[in-house]
Structure 1
């Protein structure tokens, strides 16, 4: 018998995983300039952040976060610094609606 997860459960579990990672990153001091609470207002925003983190895992060193906040947009950058000097960066751009809720607009990653 095949078991499938409800899409809502998938989002919630991704959110819980992402939330745990974000709390760990925030408490370690690598994300002091990032307001992660803005990403918890929308399941799609939280899912985009979880996807960005999952691309970077496993990371040998703590993931570093930064963000650029504008009037109608936010760009979150997550970087996995590597031991050999190379790093992998994921950048997620969000658009804000009139309530300030974020919706993913673009997703880029590379070295």
Structure 2
């Protein structure tokens, strides 16, 4: 979830900056309206203000997710297991040494963890 929210918030800031600087790359409709004289500086300021409010709202709503510390082993199950809790180390070592599962991890950790084989055998992780 964090990998979706954080980039979106950054993009909102970029959109505001570009729109405020009259760079309409991400807004071709606004660029066309601007060329025809249908969009004025006041309109652009309103759009920028809206993007600013939206960015701040997203930061506030998702602050708990944005502040979360995600340990490396959660994202990459085949990385170093030094930072994992002792109760989970045995399961993680079993998982890391299972050669059949390594290729399945290529689709990403989210889809990997949703597989029945993983969720059934490695309950703690």
TM-score by length of 2: 0.25
Which structure is larger by alpha-carbon Rg, 1 or 2? 2
TM-score by length of 1: 0.28
Structure 1 or 2: more strand by fraction: 1
User: Which of the two has greater helix per residue?
Assistant: 2
